[in-house]
Amino acid sequence: MIARTLTAHSRRRLGISCLLVATFAQAMTGCGMTRKHQPQIGIIDPNQPKELEMVSMPPYVIEPPDELEVSVRPVGAEVPLSTVTVQADGVIDLGFIGDIYIAGLTLAQAEQKIAEHLQGIAAQKKIQEPIEVSVRLVNGSQSKFFYVMGAVTTQGRFPIIGNETVLDAILAAGLRTNSQPQKAYLVRAHPPNSHDQILRVDWEGIRDRGDTMTNYQIFPGDRLIVPGGRPPGLLGSLFGG
């Protein structure tokens, strides 16, 4: 007579197989549901600056902790410190010449304000020539950043040079196994009581087709959000979940 019952070893193997199938189904279903129900946020704005259609940044505004090189002519009115750092209170320390508040000014405005400050010193030294001041950034911007948040490898702020795009931002932050860049969106910083500006990102278009429509140029203060699903388990990872 054929055996009517399974051996204990066979029962264990059957139980493990059933558990694996159930776990796999749950992982695949959960992953699919997350992707299906994750909303797409933002609008596509074809008028925004983007790859191949970038614009120049507005005049640079000085903020802490920018490092500046200050040069003065004529030599008799020369500032003793040629390189200064904008302190947390917005001033630069020029030693015995005094402190000058320059936070919130453009480089040209800072030059004018420093020159006005030095006029009295030039008069005391009986300098007849007009005071000329040059203010330049040292080592680029120290105060301008964009931010990448969400399911990325490196979440945080990144220094901005002026020609970064959404693609640059995502590559700089890095994607994780549960990242959903196809749901990414860009949020522009704006003053209080003004309209929100949320831009949809077409990641597949940027990556797979070279479509620049949503590869927006990044500006200081921009927030790029990359949503994420539930981190896949072992089976989800093995099967591309």
Q: Which DSSP string do the residues of 3-55 spell out, in sequence order?
A: --S--HHHHHHHHHHHHHHHHHHHHHHHHHHHHHHSPP-SB--TTS-BTTB--
Pick the CATH number of 39-57+144-230 from 3.30.70.1710, 3.30.450.20, 3.40.50.300, 3.10.560.10: 3.10.560.10
Q: Domain ranges for the chain, please list them.
A: 39-57+144-230, 67-137
pLDDT for res 121: 75
Question: Is it the case that residue 79 has pLDDT exceeding 90?
Answer: no
Q: Alpha-carbon distance 92 to 236, whole Å?
A: 56
Pick from 55, 52, 47, 42: nearest CA to 202:
42
CATH superfamily of domain region 67-137: wza like domain (3.30.1950.10)
Condensed to tens digits (0 to 9), the pLDDT of residues 115-171 reads 998 887 777 777 778 888 999 999 888 999 999 999 999 999 999 988 999 999 999
Pick from 76, 99, 96: nearest CA to 87:
99
Q: Alpha-carbon distance 159 to 203, whole Å?
A: 22
Work out the average pLDDT over 188-203.
94
Rounded to two decimals, the pTM is 0.76
CB 203 within 8 A of CB 152: no
